[in-house]
Chain A
Amino acid sequence: MAQNAEHVLDHVELFRGPEYQQMLANKKKMFENARDPAEVERIREWSKTPEYREKNFAREALTINPAKACQPLGAVFASVGFEGTLPFVHGSQGCVAYYRSHLSRHFKEPSSCVSSSMTEDAAVFGGLNNMTDGLANSYNMYKPKMIAVSTTCMAEVIGDDLNAFIKTSKEKGSVPQDFDVPFAHTPAFVGSHITGYDNALKGILEHFWDGKAGTAPKLERAPNEKINFIGGFDGYTVGNTREIKRIFDLMDVQYTILADNSDVFDTPTDGEFRMYDGGTTLEDAANAVHAKATISAQQWCTEKTLAFIAGHGQEVLAFNHPVGVSATDDLLMALARITGKEIPEALARERGRLVDAMADSSAHIHGKKFAIYGDPDLCYGLAAFLLELGAEPIHVLSTNGNKAWHDKMQALFASSPFGQNCHAYPGRDLWHMRSLLFTEPVDFLIGNTHGKYLERDTGTPLIRIGFPIFDRHHHHRSPLWGYQGGMNVLVKILDKIFDEIDRKTSVAGTDYSFDIIR
């Protein structure tokens, strides 16, 4: 018996012991109808070959380990960025349990969201009663300032009409007539979580700017000096949004963060549960129509939203996860141009420090090969920074990237001598990535927690950047954007590079290359 009260062994060690190993071996041999180990090994080796890669890339119907989630997750993520806002997902309830769990596992934070709990009867008769009762219940219990409605695939398949349902519910007294209930249709079978973010944010702005579903006059735009900033679906929202605010403050820019969910995913432990914390005020959301311009940190996350905003007469501008020197330069210069403000010396010094760090460390990164996967904008931002560092982002894969993304990625590669052997893979998944890593190996992989299976299978060291990060803590508190964010990304990459060198040279009986000075 290995277990001991004084030194408790949990699963990490317990099952490695001989009694459990013997038990598992017996189970396999006697009861599992297990495959011949030689056959397992043969297939495993075959799965690493170009032949397998070809079959793998020929897939048309099957998706394996996709790096994307569905629309309503993005809608919930955007909705909690508004003051006192309760996301309300119209459809079957299990989805909401999944979104809440997913967000909580990433941020290690509560995630509040309700469902209209539709079941078989709603599938037949429609979900109007669920909407009417649901709005009344959540309004009474959770005292929100706004309820932002989105849909699941169930409600979309049966064709529930949110505009009509909300109107009818208000007429029945579920919530007061003037209570804000913006909505967005977010079918899970179209796009991904970034599409849902876009739809929900557009829905909320449309609600405030275009007459609150016919209950108020449309807002007349009276341009002011403010800048709107949209972060997009960003697993680093806590660190990134705060960094952006700091930069705007340093530049003395007046701004509104649209969908500011940085506080709600970073509440203190002090004896109080804050169901709502921070967020863009509803007044600011409405007044954002008057801003001079809107800047989005993520192009493919805000396509419809930016088109909508542009339609109201503002200048709009999108970045692709501004990571690194040039991307931050571009962001600051755009800000300076639009606002007429100067870029302060403090930011110039930060820039210099990032360049200094890159100069100090470039020898370790130069020529290293990377694979990256994630949301399209994140992939772009990281690839652009790697090129700046003299690294080669060989495989860049985005399950929710499209043709336009592919073309823009390839143009980026073409712009740099380090991009010559690099390829973008839109619409592919992590099983495709596995084939890429076996047939065209790279030195490092950048991606979310799910990449740890690729790391184990292919031996490619994983640098965790993306969403979700379940198995490491607190990454979301550090920014990726701006010069300081670039510094964080650089350090993350370097730490992994140095860990790898140490791992490879940590061999008992040798004392070469295991250096204390790098």
Chain B
Amino acid sequence: MSLARTESIEEIKTRNKDLIQEVLTVYPEKTAKRRAKHLNVHEAGKADCGVKSNLKSIPGVMTIRGCAYAGSKGVVWGPIKDMIHISHGPVGCGQYSWGSRRNYYAGTTGIDTFVTLQFTSDFQEKDIVFGGDKKLVKLIDELQELFPLNNGITIQSECPIGLIGDDIEAVSKAKSKEYGGKTIVPVRCEGFRGVSQSLGHHIANDAVRDWVFDRLTPEKSRFESTPYDVAIIGDYNIGGDAWSSRILLEEMGLRVIAQWSGDGSLAELEATPKAKLNILHCYRSMNYISRHMEEKFGIPWCEYNFFGPSKIAESLRKIAGYFDDSIKEGAERVIAKYQPLVDAVVAKYRPRLEGKTVMLFVGGLRPRHVIGAYEDLGMEVVGTGYEFGHNDDYQRTAQHYVKDGTLIYDDVNGYEFERFVEKMQPDLVGSGIKEKYVFQKMGVPFRQMHSWDYSGPYHGYDGFPIFARDMDMAINSPVWRKTKAPWKAALEPRLMAAE
């Protein structure tokens, strides 16, 4: 049993506040002052979590954040499967993001689908000196020749592109014209822009607006719309999440005309302005384009959360609320259909997980979205924070998800996270690959909450049993009883408490 449960809420708050003060002591004064604004203990009833967010990371502190390129190429554009995404600049960015995000898709890779290929202009010194536009022109010709079935191209700018002043917009326009109006999208997502992945999402959204929506022609969105057309926005199909979500929407009578952007295609992006409702899973990365479609095309949007049965049912009803009774009945039918599965999962896993505590640190939606799923299993989230959340994410977190006394840490760095976990002794940490092995070495069970550790899907009713199984497997793995050599275990009572 974790230590947190043996204390009163006031004791927990005091302990968490002390803990924050304690980690701040390691910093030089200027840094301590800046970091103090990002750490807090949540007070029930407050409108937000009381932390600053979306500010520059401090140099030298081992931030967990990535960059604008990661936000655009890795999240918004990269998983659009029938387009070729050029990592424009030196070789590294494309290489490190190659196939690592598990954005599942169906297609013939290398022929009509391209997500798990690494296309790069592989900048050399001469490209830096003389500029890369000519190379880009030639590169697009070569792409057309070798991959004639690509449905479009994006140019994902790496750091040097903006610094040396390449005009990728001009290249895009000229080549598009040359290839009969082909969609060629320049994306100014150079890694130095903004403070995290977040600006990359925004820039990528704007590129959809300017280079896809603003160039729509009647023949591009030719299908007959129905009153039940929706688009799934902001589900990247990690381990197939968008599919286990889509199946529920279809079962309740809706027609999913687009998935952004896991298993997504350019045609689906182009069809989205015909949707009756945009439903938004990752608010942070795609709210911009959803708001744009609301303003320009009058399409309403709503957020939903398909982690765990409580939030799934709530979300299905919320989505159905935008439609007529047939859909509302459809939602109830779907909820009822899967209730026996939910009951069986909870009956099986809740006894194994009841009372276990979790600390989270993830990207833009999961620090709050997964809390409901943990609670469905009787678990408690005692600390959470965002890599690149904004103030409105922390508002949503405070108002709908976290409990009184929860430790909140924005843009937590390696040092702080380790100290927090060491002191709070959660039963599980959910974060990313860079954090995983740190905590496992400490003997703390861990699940990757960006990529589900090569498991999934976690979304929807088909995802919930996998989520439950994975948390049980992580926490109750017999390996955690072996972390201390028996001749050493007796000497360290702290680790006894973690049993």
Contact = CB atoms under 8 A, between A and B. Distances in A.
B104 A11 contact: yes
Contacts of A30: 223, 257
A154 interface: yes
Interface residues of A, number: 112
A43 interface: yes
B383 interface: no
Contacts, number: 359
Interface stretch (B8-16, B300-308, B314-322, B336-344): B336-344
Contacts of B295: none
A5 B465 contact: yes
B239 A43 contact: no
A63 B123 CA distance: 10
A157 B122 contact: no
B158 A62 contact: no
A1 B337 contact: yes
A135 B437 contact: no
A361 interface: no
B466 A10 contact: yes
A184 interface: no
Nearest to B97: A98
Given A33-B267, A62-B119, A64-B117, A133 B95 contact: no
B159 interface: yes
Given A131-B59, A137-B31, A98 B66 contact: yes
Interface string A16-36: 000110011001101111110
Nearest to B250: A23
Given A97-B434, A134-B60, A61 B111 contact: no
Residue among B31, B64, B433 with the highest chain A CB neighbour number at 10 A: B433
A102 interface: yes
Contacts of B257: 30-31
Given A5-B344, A11-B457, A114 B96 contact: no
A157 B110 contact: no
B146 A140 contact: no
Contacts of A269: 440-441, 443, 479, 483
A94 B341 contact: no
A153 B159 contact: yes
B381 to A, nearest CB: 22
Nearest to A64: B119
A232 B82 CA distance: 39
Contact of A273 (B118, B263, B441): B441
A91 B93 CA distance: 13
Given A14-B462, A61-B135, A273-B442, A104 B434 contact: yes
B437 A108 contact: yes
A122 B139 CA distance: 31
Given A10-B456, A192-B91, A40 B108 contact: yes
A91 B90 CA distance: 14
Contacts of A20: 243, 247
B67 A62 contact: no
A47 B110 CA distance: 9
A303 B263 CA distance: 45
B142 A92 contact: no
Contact of A8 (B110, B125, B160, B465): B465
Contacts of B106: 24, 28
B473 to A, nearest CB: 10
A32 B267 contact: yes
B47 interface: no
A353 interface: no
Nearest to B387: A97
A55 B462 contact: no
Residue among A31, A189, A450 having the largest count of chain B Cβ atoms under 10 Å:
A189
Interface residues of B, number: 131
A152 interface: yes
A20 to B, nearest CB: 6
Contact of B59 (A19, A32, A130, A158): A130
B138 A104 contact: no
A111 interface: yes
Nearest to B482: A269
Contacts of B111: 40, 43-44, 47
A32 B91 CA distance: 31
Contacts of A188: 90-92, 123
Interface stretch (A67-75, A206-214, A237-245, A289-297): A67-75
A78 interface: no
Given A99-B96, A122-B192, A153 B90 contact: yes
Interface in B27-63: 27-28, 30-31, 56-63
Interface in B109-168: 109-112, 116-125, 127-128, 135-136, 138-139, 142-143, 145-146, 148-149, 151, 158-160, 162-164
Contacts of B390: none
A70 B95 contact: yes
A40 B110 CA distance: 10
B441 A97 contact: no
Given A136-B60, A154-B159, A157-B159, A32 B265 contact: yes
B469 interface: yes
Nearest to A449: B99
B90 A138 contact: no
A439 interface: no
B497 interface: no
Interface in A175-215: 187-190, 192
Given A3-B341, A11-B104, A120-B192, A61 B434 contact: no
A189 B128 contact: yes
Interface string B237-251: 001100110110010
B292 interface: no
A162 to B, nearest CB: 14
B345 interface: yes
B65 A93 contact: yes
A157 B128 contact: yes
Given A3-B461, A154-B191, A141 B442 contact: no
A194 B465 CA distance: 44
A33 B99 CA distance: 24
B46 to A, nearest CB: 29
Given A31-B258, A101-B96, A93 B142 contact: no
A350 B246 CA distance: 59
Contacts of A137: 27-28, 31, 58-61
Given A14-B244, A62-B121, A123-B163, A95 B61 contact: no
Given A33-B151, A66-B118, A69-B96, 10 more contacts: A52-B146, A95-B67, A95-B93, A110-B438, A116-B59, A137-B27, A138-B62, A270-B443, A270-B488, A273-B439
16 contacts: A1-B337, A14-B240, A23-B247, A40-B149, A52-B146, A60-B138, A66-B91, A69-B96, A101-B100, A111-B434, A117-B58, A153-B89, A154-B192, A158-B163, A269-B440, A272-B442
List 10 A-B pairs, minimum CB-CB distance, nearest first: A94-B67, A70-B92, A134-B60, A134-B59, A33-B267, A98-B96, A5-B344, A137-B60, A188-B90, A138-B60
